[in-house]
Amino acid sequence: MEVTIDTGALRGKVLQSRSGRNIAFFGGIPYAAPPIGELRWQAPQPPAAWEGVRDASEYGPSCPQLVVRGEGTFRDTIARAIDYAIEERDWAQDEDCLCLNVFTPDVDSATRRPVMVWVHGGAHRNGTSSAYPGEELAAKGVVLVTINYRLGPLGFLAHPELTAEGCRGNQGLLDTVAALQWVQRNIRRFGGDPGNVTVFGESAGGHSTCAMVTSPLCEGLIHRAIAQSGVGAQATMLLDRPGANPISAEQAGVKLGEAMGCPAGPGQLAAMRQLTAGEIIERTAAVPLPGVIIDGYCQVENPVTAFRKDNQNPVDLMIGSNAFEGSALYWGAPMAQMRICRDTETYLAEINRVFAEDAEEALLLYPASDEAEMVHSSKRMCGDSLFGAPTRAVVQALSEQDRPAWAYYFTHTPDGDDGKLGAFHAMEISYVFGVDFLSPLKSDADKALSERMMNYWVNFATTGNPNGAGLPRWDRYDSNADTMMNFGSKIGMARVALPREYDLIMRAIDRQLAAVE
Catalytic residue numbers, as ranges: 203, 325, 425
Contact criterion met (CB below 8 Å) for 180 and 221: yes
Amino acid at the residue 334: P
Got the DSSP string for 123-183?
Answer: TTTS--GGG---HHHHTTT-EEEEE----HHHHS---HHHHHHT--S-HHHHHHHHHHHHH
Q: Using DSSP bridges, classify how beta strands 316-322 and 224-228 pair: parallel, antiparallel or unpaired.
A: parallel
Detail the DSSP E strand segments found in 286-349.
Answer: 316-322
Beta strand ranges found along 443-512 (DSSP E): 483-487, 491-495
Distance CA 201, CA 195 (A): 19
Element (H, E) at 194: strand 192-202
Longest distance between any two alpha carbons in the chain, whole Å: 69
Nearest residue to 248 (alpha-carbon basis) of 373, 126, 157? 157
Alpha-carbon gap, residue 283 to 280, rounded angstroms: 5
Is 79 within 8 Å of 86 (Cβ atoms)?
yes
Distance between CA atoms of 358 and 312, rounded to whole angstroms?
31
Which residue, 389, 428, 26, is CA-closest to 205? 428
CA 175 to chain centre: 14
Q: Give the DSSP H/E element, type plus range, for residue 462.
A: helix 444-463
CA distances for 109 relative to 2, 3, 29, 112, 129, angstroms: 12, 10, 18, 8, 25
**CB under 8 Å to 204, separation ≥6 — which residues?**
119, 120, 121, 122, 123, 124, 127, 230
Q: What's the chain's length in residues?
A: 517
Instruction: Give the helix/strand (H/E) hosting 196.
Output: strand 192-202
The upper half-sphere exposure of residue 369, i.e. CA atoms within 13 Å in the direction of its Cβ, equals 2
What is the distance in angstroms between the CA of the first residue and the CA of the last residue of the chain? 52
Residue type, 426: A
- 8 Å CB contact between 180 and 197: yes
Residue 487 pairs in a beta bridge with: 410, 491
How far is it, in rounded angstroms, from Cα 78 to Cα 108?
41
Cα–Cα distance, 269 to 253 (Å, whole number):
9
- CA 269, 271, 274, 277 dihedral sign is negative
